[in-house]
Amino acid sequence: MLKTDLLKLSFHNIFLHKVRSSLTSLGIIFGVGSVISMLAISEGAKRESLAQIEAMGTDKILLFSRKPIVAMSSGSADTGMVQKFGITENDRLTLRNFDNITGITTARNARKKILRGATPVRAKVVGVSIEFLHDTKCDVVDGRWFTPIDSESRPPLCLIGKNLKKNLFSIGKQNVVGEMIRVENFVFKIIGVIENKVGSQLPELDSPNDMVLIMQDTSDALFGRNSYTMRTSRQFDIEDVDYDLLIIKVGDISFIDDTAKRIKNYMEKTHSRQEDWGVVVPYDLLKQREKTQNIFTIIMSSIAGISLLVGGIGIMNIMLANVYERRKEIGTRMALGAKKKDILAQFLVETVLLTLSGGSIGILVGIFLSQAVTYYADWKVVFTFWSFALSFIISTLVGIVFGTYPAWKASRQNPIEILRTE
């Protein structure tokens, strides 16, 4: 039998029973749809999480301060307590002389209230060194960044995060450069708006998109290194922290683990009385997250694979019933000279065409489901070429694997017995 005739006959038999063909393909449609949507959701989550880690810098080590459960304190019950913890200036000076450390960017939460009129705004005022913009992968979307002259003259200037801009000003106000904001008793002039496009979260400081950034020297000059929290009209707490975050740049990334271990050993010795610090190595976190995401993708694909398996079994059952129903056609064709391989090829091609058509529709269903997830859950999805190619390959394999037995069963029919019974 010619290949063109085989395809025409297969299409004819499929369209002859449209409802049955559609129901037969349902398992493949939803199986492939689930594969496409799960892989797209998994890939989107993977890229988004990896982008956030990479934005921290794989050539950096993040050393941060954290308030211990019981901080070292001094003072009296009448006035309050002075709590000193975290990374000190001596720590910074010592660490910058370590081998493989090429620079240190600093950041400290000033622990001051931002006021919109008389209403406090939930955001952090963070004093940063001039390298902060580059080392956190932020962009100035409006205005300008700090200059060395700003560091020397220490004027009351600030930049605000893109999210904070929406909270401080009305939606219709586009240009906020030159506007003033109050930080407790001081008024700062906004010189720019920054954005971290991947929404990176800095340890203990949250996202730069939600911060008010001022120069480190300006913060020291205006606020000092102590913050006051009133408990009552007569009692207050004082927190004394030199730095909340050090972004430590390494020269050779191949030795980043050794450098991180030496930093940890140093901090354990100098801060042995209380655990008031932590270390994050984005490079290690990146490798761990990649491994976790790969496992997650395998699990999700396995679940979708079970759907395809069930769909394949359903197709095999329907095709076996189809063989019994079409015994007269099979016997007639074989009596007229059709060989066993022709009958086998016909039923096998029909099954593969059913699974391929189901796979094609399943891809559209998968895209629709992924877009629905993006719309309702605001999750990022990413479609890859290999996921579509994999769907077609799986559809073909399902057709071949689960269509072989029904096709073999059809080819083994005895035309004499069939025609006698029919």
The Cα 257–Cα 292 span in angstroms is 20
User: Does 272 reside within a domain?
Assistant: no
- Asked if 48 and 138 sit in the same domain, the reply is no
Q: Name the residue type at position 44.
A: G
Which H helix or E strand runs over 89? helix 89-95
- Asked whether residue 134 falls in the same domain as residue 220, the answer is yes
Residues 35 and 146 in one domain: no
Residue 279 lies in a domain: no
The secondary structure of 274-322 as a DSSP string is: ---EEEE-HHHHHHHHHHHHHHHHHHHHHHHHHHHHHHHHHHHHHHHHH
Q: With contact defined as beta carbons under 8 Å apart, do 323 and 410 qualify?
A: yes
pLDDT at residue 107, rounded to an integer: 92
The SS3 of residue 145 is: coil
Q: Are residues 108 and 246 in the same domain?
A: yes
Tell me what percent of the chain is helix, strand and coil, each rounded to the nearest 5.
55, 20, 25
> Is 43 found in the same domain as 125?
no
Closest CA to 64 of 257, 222, 281, 251: 281
Q: Is residue 13 part of a domain?
A: yes
Q: Are residues 244 and 375 in the same domain?
A: no
Within a domain: residue 416? yes
Residues 336 and 209 both lie in one domain: no
Is residue 340 domain-shared with residue 407, that is, in the same domain?
A: yes
Residues 187 and 303 both lie in one domain: no
Residue with tokens 């349902």: 26
Distance of CA 97 to the CA centre of its chain: 36
Q: Is the pTM of this model over 0.85?
A: no
Type of residue numbered 371:
Q
Q: Hey, what amino acid is at 400?
A: I
Same domain, 406 and 301: yes
Specify whether 305 is located in the same domain as 167.
Answer: no
pLDDT tens sequence for the chain (422 residues): 556 766 776 776 777 777 777 777 787 888 888 888 888 887 787 777 767 666 667 788 899 998 887 555 555 544 556 778 889 999 999 999 999 999 999 999 988 888 877 778 888 999 999 999 988 889 999 999 999 888 888 889 999 999 999 888 877 788 889 999 998 888 999 999 999 887 778 888 888 999 999 999 888 888 877 666 555 556 666 778 889 999 999 888 888 889 999 999 999 999 888 888 999 887 777 677 777 777 777 777 777 677 777 778 877 887 787 777 777 777 777 777 777 777 788 778 888 888 888 888 888 988 898 888 888 877 778 888 877 887 778 777 887 888 788 778 777 777 667 666 65
**Single-letter code of the amino acid located at 278:** G
Tally of domains within the chain:
2
Closest CA to 386 of 301, 278, 319: 301
Q: Return the pLDDT at 266.
A: 93
The domain boundary, picked from 195, 220, 250, lies at: 250
For the chain, the C-alpha Rg in angstroms (whole number) is 34
What is the model's pLDDT at position 328?
Answer: 75
- Decide if 422 contacts 416 (C-beta within 8 A): no
Q: Which residues contact 274 (CB under 8 A, 6 or more apart)?
A: 68, 70, 71, 72, 85
Q: Which of these three, 221, 250, 279, is where a domain ends?
A: 250
207 and 135 within one domain: yes
**Nearest partner of 63 among 216, 239, 276, judged by Cα:** 276
CA 355 to chain centre: 33
pLDDT of residue 158: 93
Q: Which domain holds residue 379?
A: 3-52+288-421
